């Protein structure tokens, strides 16, 4: 399976985590966020960056997850009704942190908080099978100027 990540060019040469807090991880918990499509990876950036931030030098990374690699998932019906609300972030962060710490799989499939029915794939760089996940390509990515009035 191929997944995608859009990131600043200086971070697009290797599969590395920043350890900064996000929806599925608290601070200092390394996790790599990827998306099931380039368009979802684009939207994930748009909702987290301001207009000026989208003018930076970005790249889209194409990442290969072997088909036989174990992928666990967070079931949508196991999440609170308004799980995307900021107040529920400690819950989703705890779920992600627990998954990382227990090392149950190299990949966790999670619901997109932006597009219902779309998925992001979290990568656990501490898992022994993480080494089987490969960065295939890294190409320049420019956000369309119509996004956020660029």
Tens of pLDDT, residue by residue, the chain (150 residues) = 999 999 999 999 999 998 888 999 999 999 999 999 999 999 999 987 766 678 788 999 999 999 999 999 999 888 999 999 999 999 999 999 999 999 999 999 999 999 999 999 999 999 999 999 999 999 999 998 888 675
Work out the end-to-end distance of the chain between its first and last CA atoms, rounded to an integer number of angstroms. 33
pTM for the model: 0.93
Q: What is the pLDDT of residue 150?
A: 55
CB atoms within 10 A of CB 146: 7
Domain spans of the chain?
Answer: 2-143
C-alpha–C-alpha distance, residues 115 and 61, integer Å: 21
Q: How many helices (H) and strands (E) does the chain have?
A: 2, 7
Q: Beta strand 2-8 with 119-123: parallel, antiparallel or unpaired?
A: unpaired
């Amino acid at each position: 399976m191929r997944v995608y990540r859009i990131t600043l060019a200086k971070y697009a040469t290797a599969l590395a985590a920043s350890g900064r807090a996000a929806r599925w991880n608290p601070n200092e918990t390394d996790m790599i966020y990827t998306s099931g499509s380039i368009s979802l990876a684009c939207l994930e950036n748009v909702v987290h960056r301001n207009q000026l931030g989208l003018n930076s030098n970005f790249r889209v990374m194409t990442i290969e997850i072997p088909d036989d690699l174990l992928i666990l998932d967070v079931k949508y019906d196991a999440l609170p009704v308004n799980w995307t609300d900021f107040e529920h972030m400690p819950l989703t962060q705890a779920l992600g942190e627990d998954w990382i710490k227990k090392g149950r799989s190299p990949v966790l499939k999670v619901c997109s908080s932006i597009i219902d029915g779309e998925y992001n794939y979290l990568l656990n760089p501490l898992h022994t099978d993480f080494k089987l996940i490969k960065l295939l390509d890294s190409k320049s990515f420019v956000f369309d100027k119509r996004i956020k009035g660029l």
